[in-house]
Structure 1
Amino acid sequence: MAAAPQAPDTARYRYTTIEGRPLAYLDQGEGFPVLLGHSYLWNARMWQPQIDALSRHFRVIAPDLWGHGRSAALPEGTRDMQDLARHNLALLDALSINECHLVGLSVGGMWGSALKQMAPERVRKLVLMDTYLGPEPAQSQAQYLGMLRRLEVDQALSEALLNMVVPMFFSPHIDPAAPLCQGFRATLEQLSTGQIVDSIVPLGRLIFTRSDRRDLLPTLDPARTLVMVGEYDLPRPPREASEMARLIGCPLQTIANAGHISNLENRHAVNQALLEFLLHGR
């Protein structure tokens, strides 16, 4: 009988220089690489349950988005998802990684799909989680851009803004006093003025005014693509995931009892789905 995989070490932050600025990333495990792209307003540590599970079989790399976690501010001239994809291709180049699996949640799925289109030979399997390649619907776009204008003026997340933002990321059934919600709230409260002005606001505008890239979906290999969505995802509702899976012709995995950050609200279901998809097939 084969020995059970060793328990993974704690992922360590490392740094490389992209566009003249330090980009921080977690790196854990050995084997075929898996690149993880996290959600806006979070950081690479949100992937810790998946890093621990996947790194028993793969080398897992999770960069911090610009201005999030330990990465430097958004490089000047960053205008769209293609620019973010180029930055992550540069990370793969810096690590001498020619091919990887890519798992992207929310904006991670947006730039991840752009990377797949830009360099299809570099991504073997693609997982699109709680994301949407269509444009932001007019109603939510107006709401989010209004919140960003307020954030730009205040240069901090006010109590009122926190009360609007935090619940968006979770199932409506979660207790607001739960450590997951309170920890996220505390992270937002600690954002510096520089992070907000130089990265959070411009990145938000980049995300919520993104172009429609649904034309990419039918070009993806349905055998190597998986769409996943939290059952109660509010910003990226399941109907959007269903539309994408239909256009690709790939499986759709609904994560029960989870909202937008489905990988944390139902980590066990997400880990199981990712392992099954990434470990098997071609």
Structure 2
Amino acid sequence: MFFLFCISVYFLGISNASAFSSNYTKYISYSDFGRGEPLVLLHAFPTDKNLWLPQHQGLKQYFRVISLDLWGFGYSEGTTGSAVTMEEYADEVAQLLDQLSIKKAIIGGTSMGGYIALAFLAKYPDRVNGLILSNSQAITDSPEMKKSANSLASDVLTDGTQKFANDFINKALSAEAPQQIRLFLQNILLDQTPFGLASALRGMSIRQDFSNVLATTSIPMLIITSDKDTVIPPQQSANMHALAKNSKLVVISDAGHLSNLEQPEQWNKAVIELFGQKAQA
């Protein structure tokens, strides 16, 4: 029932979305829900801020929940297909925080969003109150995976996003995911442009290894994985947990790669249990 409510919010267009631009920044589209400690959520490739609708609704009584469309996705400024690095996406997050007059926040990301959260921590450590890394990893891709990502970027620019979207849904969701979740994700994916996907694919392929960032920070960290994630295996989350000084590892049951979408109640509960009490204090 909770997810059906979130879908109705999506299709009825009921949101708290805003956008801004200035002489110094590109156009950024974002959503801002609730009150309390700021929690900034960074979406997975190749989605947009709507991926976080179950968190907008489920966490807004505990946090000020902010999500944004990364450049090239959703309604934020487009890209050309050239690489956008994780550090450049991190700069986008910093610009949004500046615009909202937020000095520090909990930064959370899933999959690619986790890479960006780590890049943000590395570049702006004094602006991070806590970190959430969901279905993500700290290491770089293998040479084979980097080559595959660049090849896929070229294919998307040539052939469009339809086939890629269908393939991604089958990989990212568990076999048991309900049809309404599949349709919800499909609608998000088909809203994206080939240029945005290509930029992110090329940017991810050149990302750095953030293992040292994990090993040297003492900020509270929630590391989330799921038992049916075949995109980034749970062992990668276990490895991050072993490296981090102050982390909690949570395994979401009955979910694939997008655990926040398939099992939002479990995902939200994990966030509330680690960060929610502080937020309400």
TM-score for the superposition, normalised by structure 1: 0.86
2:116 is the alignment partner of 1:107: no
2:207 is the alignment partner of 1:206: no
2:269 is the alignment partner of 1:268: no
Which residue in the other structure is 2:194 paired with?
A: 196
Which residue in the other structure is 1:246 paired with?
A: 242
Instruction: Give how far 1:232 is off.
Output: 1.2
Q: Answer yes or no: is the 8 Å Cα contact 1:133–1:213 preserved in 2.
A: yes
Which residue in the other structure is 1:231 paired with?
A: 227
Instruction: Give how far 1:11 is off.
Output: 3.6
2:161 is the alignment partner of 1:157: yes
Instruction: Give how far 1:76 is off.
Output: 9.5
Instruction: Give how far 1:231 is off.
Output: 1.3
Larger RCO (alpha carbons 8 Å, 6+ apart): 2
Counterpart amino acid of residue 233 in structure 2:
P
Q: Does the residue aligned with 2:61 lie in a helix, a strand or coil?
A: coil
Q: Answer yes or no: is the 8 Å Cα contact 1:78–1:84 preserved in 2.
A: no
Alpha-carbon spacing, 1:189–1:212, altered in 2? closer, same or farther (3 Å): same
Aligned partners of 1:144 and 1:179: how far apart in 2? 29
Q: Which moved more, 1:32-41 or 1:112-121?
A: 112-121
Alpha-carbon spacing, 1:235–1:96, altered in 2? closer, same or farther (3 Å): same
Alpha-carbon spacing, 1:188–1:100, altered in 2? closer, same or farther (3 Å): closer
Aligned partners of 1:219 and 1:227: how far apart in 2? 16
Aligned partners of 1:184 and 1:226: how far apart in 2? 25
Q: Which moved more, 1:134-143 or 1:119-128?
A: 134-143
Q: Which moved more, 1:126-135 or 1:19-28?
A: 19-28
What whole-Å deviation, never above 9, does each CA across 1:198-251 have from its counterpart, x for those lacking one? x221111101332222111101226x1111012111221101111111011422
2:181 is the alignment partner of 1:180: yes
Task: Determine which of 119, 128, 135 is the counterpart of 1:130.
Answer: 135
Task: Determine which of 139, 146, 152 is the counterpart of 1:147.
Answer: 152
Alpha-carbon spacing, 1:269–1:93, altered in 2? closer, same or farther (3 Å): same
Aligned partners of 1:248 and 1:57: how far apart in 2? 25
Aligned partners of 2:131 and 2:162: how far apart in 1? 37
Alpha-carbon spacing, 1:75–1:90, altered in 2? closer, same or farther (3 Å): farther
Q: Answer yes or no: is the 8 Å Cα contact 1:136–1:208 preserved in 2.
A: yes
Q: Does the residue aligned with 1:83 lie in a helix, a strand or coil?
A: helix
Alpha-carbon spacing, 1:186–1:219, altered in 2? closer, same or farther (3 Å): same
Q: CA RMSD in A?
A: 2.3
Aligned partners of 1:137 and 1:168: how far apart in 2? 19
Q: Answer yes or no: is the 8 Å Cα contact 1:228–1:253 preserved in 2.
A: yes
Instruction: Give how far 1:147 is off.
Output: 2.2
Task: Determine which of 16, 21, 30 is the counterpart of 1:25.
Answer: 30
Aligned partners of 1:117 and 1:186: how far apart in 2? 33
Instruction: Give how far 1:75 is off.
Output: 7.9
Instruction: Give how far 1:190 is off.
Output: 4.2
Q: Answer yes or no: is the 8 Å Cα contact 1:39–1:106 preserved in 2.
A: yes
Q: Percent identity?
A: 25
Aligned partners of 1:50 and 1:220: how far apart in 2? 26
Alpha-carbon spacing, 1:28–1:74, altered in 2? closer, same or farther (3 Å): same
Q: Does the residue aligned with 2:114 lie in a helix, a strand or coil?
A: helix
Which residue in the other structure is 1:64 paired with?
A: 69
Instruction: Give how far 1:268 is off.
Output: 0.7
Counterpart amino acid of residue 240 in structure 2:
M
